[in-house]
Amino acid sequence: MASGLPARSPRSLARREGGAVRRWVSRSLWDVVPRDQRDTVEVLRRRQWVTVGVVLLGAVMLAISLRIEPGNVWFYPAALAMAAVWAVGALLSGPLHLGRIAAGAHDTTLVRPVVAPVLLGLLLAALFVVGGLVVREIPWLDRQVRSVLDFADQGSVPLLLLITVVNGIAEELFFRGAVYAAVTRHPVIWSTLAYVVATLATGNVMLAFAAILLGAVVGLQRRASGGILAPILTHCTWSTAMLFALPLLFG
């Protein structure tokens, strides 16, 4: 070559790019950054009592809100009330932190996670869309998805978008904020389980399955970054994408 540098083979370029992707995923989901966030015994106990009570209350309210008939004007205040329960419960439990991740593979500077969580949310949404192609071929699962989409079909899109974002923020404040911090061992597993249990109150299998996958991803983000910003951005990106993608897929 004119530059005197050897040409890279497609295989070596693929390995290099694959390594970059693995490092990016590792920074986002696995590499735990240094932190000094420690609750006192009193704060930890308060978190635990608050989270148990709010999970139970939230499960009941979630079941009620999802059983409201599509098109009923009470759906909107019920959904916002649900978000208020999660958010207030999170704030009452104790201090919450935004978290940080490493700026790059060779840069140990810690920064607020913004771009990576949004990209993860989009990737997760793409995975759900691919899964939706399979789900719509299975009648009873197809009915489960359509029962949720009935609210999107008969509701105001701007209001639904607002509710989607507000609830995404509130759920992460509580489950990856309060619940995660209240658990002293295996918090990723237990915060995900609490999220799934609350979602099961809707009686919708597909929502519970989504809660497992989403909960695991944002739980790992919480573990890696030490805060709630990454889970919030991933959750809101994913849920917003689903709001617009699923009606097209199951229309």
- Judge whether 73 lies within some domain: yes
Binning the chain into helix, strand and coil, the percentages to the nearest 5 are 75, 5, 25
Q: Are 167 and 238 a contacting pair, CB within 8 Å? A: no
- Judge whether 117 lies within some domain: yes
Structure tokens belonging to residue 3: 């530059």
- Judge whether 220 lies within some domain: yes
- Judge whether 153 lies within some domain: yes
- Judge whether 8 lies within some domain: no
**The pLDDT of residue 170:** 96
Q: Which of 9-18, 46-55, 96-105 has the highest mean pLDDT?
A: 46-55
* Domain extent at residue 240: 34-249
- Judge whether 26 lies within some domain: no
Q: What is the mean pLDDT of residues 30-41?
A: 78
Of the candidates 178, 170, 204, the one whose C-alpha atom is nearest the C-alpha of residue 87 is 170
- Judge whether 4 lies within some domain: no
- Judge whether 28 lies within some domain: no
**The pLDDT of residue 1:** 46
Residue ranges in 94-186 assigned as alpha helix (H): 115-135, 139-154, 157-172, 180-182
Task: Kindly report, residue by residue over 171-228, the tens digit of the pLDDT.
Answer: 999 999 999 999 989 999 999 999 998 888 777 788 888 999 999 999 999 999 999 9
Number of domains in the chain: 1
Q: Are 25 and 217 a contacting pair, CB within 8 Å? A: no
Task: Kindly report, residue by residue over 104-125, the tens digit of the pLDDT.
Answer: 766 678 889 999 999 999 999 9
Task: Kindly report, residue by residue over 148-177, the tens digit of the pLDDT.
Answer: 777 666 667 888 899 999 999 999 999 999
Residues 27, 29, 30, CA angle at the centre, nearest 5°?
Answer: 75
